[in-house]
């Protein structure tokens, strides 16, 4: 009844890469995850958004940023007047990494080896989409895109130029906003995130 999807896309297309990624065993994360969560959005997108890795809901849905962090992201995009459907949205790591605690699956940060293995897919997404501007949400995305370890505060909120001329804009990960317990700080950080996306909207 639940036959696996058949790979039919012509070679040399982003769709073929997406299909190939379904069978990825480059690191061990595929063992626990439900499925590969590949990027989503138009191949001609001018802006690519890179997050960390799928969460619980993304793992089940097979789509990036559909859970609580995605909700924050969608809300702020709407507030600044950006259309998510125009963006190519993906993650540095394409499988959900978690620790099972009873029935709950608790998110775990991907390590450098996992990020480096998964860069294989991210690079191909970049090659096909060729975005003018890339938004890195969080330190994992920044590391995946640049191979540099930096404090987020040192690279955040300003356009950086990548080797091939693309603009890289670094901001926080929306999950970080969800974890701030103090309501005042949370509101302040949410405002900064909104300002970052406003800057991106102007640059794109
Ligand atoms: N967090 C991410 O980094 N990516 C998702 O797709 C969902 C949550």
Q: How confident is the model at residue 30 (pLDDT cuts 50, 70, 90)?
A: very high
> What is the share, in percent, of the chain residues with pLDDT greater than 90?
95
The topology (CATH level 3) of 14-203 is: Uracil-DNA Glycosylase, subunit E (3.40.470)
Structure tokens at 118: 């998964």
Which atom number of ligand 1 is nearest to the Cα of residue 64? 6
How many whole angstroms separate alpha carbon 129 and alpha carbon 114? 23
Rounded to the nearest whole angstrom, what is the distance from the C-alpha of residue 41 to the centroid of ligand 1? Answer: 15
- Average of per-residue pLDDT across 34-38: 98
How many whole angstroms separate alpha carbon 140 and alpha carbon 199? 21
Q: What is the pLDDT of residue 111?
A: 98
Which atom number of ligand 1 is nearest to the Cα of residue 173? 3
Ligand 1 within 6 A of CB of 91:
yes
Supply the mean pLDDT for the chain: 97
Q: What is the pLDDT of residue 42?
A: 98
Structure tokens at 163: 């080797």
Is the pLDDT at 2 greater than 90? The verdict is no
Q: What is the pLDDT of residue 87?
A: 98
Ligand 1 within 6 A of CB of 58:
yes
How far, in Å, are 5, 6, 62, 74 from residue 2 at the CA level? 9, 12, 16, 32
Give the number of other Cβ atoms within 10 Å of residue 141's Cβ. 27
Is the pLDDT at 129 greater than 90? The verdict is yes
CA atoms within 13 A on the CB side of 193: 25
Which atom number of ligand 1 is nearest to the Cα of residue 65? 6
- Residue in the structure block whose two tokens are 């990960």: 173
Ligand 1 within 6 A of CB of 140:
no
Rounded to the nearest whole angstrom, what is the distance from the C-alpha of residue 80 to the centroid of ligand 1? Answer: 20
Which atom number of ligand 1 is nearest to the Cα of residue 175? 1
Contact 199, 157 (CB under 8 A): yes
Q: What is the pLDDT of residues 41-88, one digit of tens each?
A: 999 999 999 999 999 999 999 999 999 999 999 999 999 999 999 999
From 64, 110, 141, 174, the mutation candidate for ligand 1 (largest count of ligand atoms within 8 A of CB) is 64
Domain positions in the chain are: 14-203
Is the pLDDT at 1 greater than 60? The verdict is no
Least confident of 21-25, 59-63, 118-122, 161-165: 161-165
């Amino acid at each position: 009844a639940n036959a696996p999807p058949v790979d039919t896309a012509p070679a040399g297309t982003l769709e073929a890469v997406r299909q190939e990624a379904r069978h990825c065993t480059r690191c061990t994360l595929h063992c626990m995850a439900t499925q590969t969560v590949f990027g989503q959005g138009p191949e001609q997108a001018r802006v690519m958004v890179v997050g960390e890795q799928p969460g619980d809901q993304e793992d089940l849905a097979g789509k990036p940023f559909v859970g609580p962090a995605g909700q924050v992201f969608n809300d702020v995009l709407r507030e600044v007047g950006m259309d998510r459907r125009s963006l190519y949205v993906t993650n540095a790591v394409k499988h959900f990494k978690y620790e099972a605690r009873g029935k709950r699956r608790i998110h775990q940060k991907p390590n450098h080896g996992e990020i480096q293995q998964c860069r294989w897919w991210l690079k191909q997404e970049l090659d096909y989409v060729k975005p003018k501007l890339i938004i890195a949400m969080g330190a994992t995305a920044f590391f995946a895109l640049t191979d540099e370890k930096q404090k987020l505060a040192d690279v955040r909120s300003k356009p950086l130029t990548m080797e091939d001329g693309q603009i890289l804009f670094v901001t926080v990960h929306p999950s970080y906003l969800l974890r701030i317990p103090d309501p005042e700080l949370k509101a302040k950080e949410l405002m900064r995130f909104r300002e970052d996306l406003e800057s991106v909207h102007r640059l794109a």
